[in-house]
Amino acid sequence: MTATSENVRVTFKGEYDFGVDDKRRVQVPAKWRPAEGTLLSVHVWKAEGQRHPCLMVLPPATARKLEERLESMSFSDPKAEALRRLLGADCDDLTLDSAGRICLPEKLANKAKLGKKAVLVGLFDRFQIWNPEFYADTQVTDEVARPDAIKLI
C-alpha cells in the first residue's frame, strides 16, 4: 500500500504470520501500512457463528462508516445501546511506530487470546489479527461455508 492520505483507497489482501514481542507489538505488512500518523481503530471482534474472538483493525474511512452507523441508531433501543457499549468498551486507536508495528493494548490482546504469534488476515477494507490456533479453527468453518459464501458474489 502506498497511501499518502486517509482518502486513498486502502486494500488489505493476503495472510501473514508474525511474531508478537514482549511489548505486544506486531508487524504490519509494508503494503498495508497507512500514511504516517494515521489512526487505526482496533476492536475485539466475535461475529455471529464465530467461535473465537479476534482483533478487527479498521482504517479511518471504514472506522468512520462504523461510527456513523452506530451514531444513527436510536438512543432508546436497548440493543443499539448494548452494541455501542460492547464495541466502545473493547476498542482503541493505534498508530504505527517507525518500524511499521502496532502495539496491541493489553486488554484487547488478552480478550483475543494473542500470545507470541499472530496471523494477520486481509478482508479488503479492514484486517483481522488472530491467535493462530483460533484462525486454523476458523478456516475449517470458512471452508464449510464456502459454497454458500461464494453465492454472495
- For residue 4, the Cα-to-chain-centroid distance in whole angstroms is 21
pLDDT value, residue 2: 38
Query: Cα separation of 6 and 67, whole Å?
Result: 16
For 15-150, CATH number? Answer: 3.40.1550.20
The Cα-based distances of 127 to 14, 122, 123 in angstroms read: 9, 4, 5
pLDDT value, residue 83: 94
Cβ contacts of 51 within 8 Å, gap of 6 or more: 134, 137, 138, 141
Residue ranges of domains in the chain: 15-150
Amino acid of residue 105: P
- Return the bridge partners of 94, or none: 40
> pLDDT 10s digit of each residue in the chain, 153 long?
434 444 566 689 999 999 999 999 999 999 999 877 789 999 999 988 889 999 999 999 999 999 999 999 999 999 999 999 999 999 999 999 999 999 999 999 999 999 999 999 999 999 999 999 999 999 999 999 999 999 999
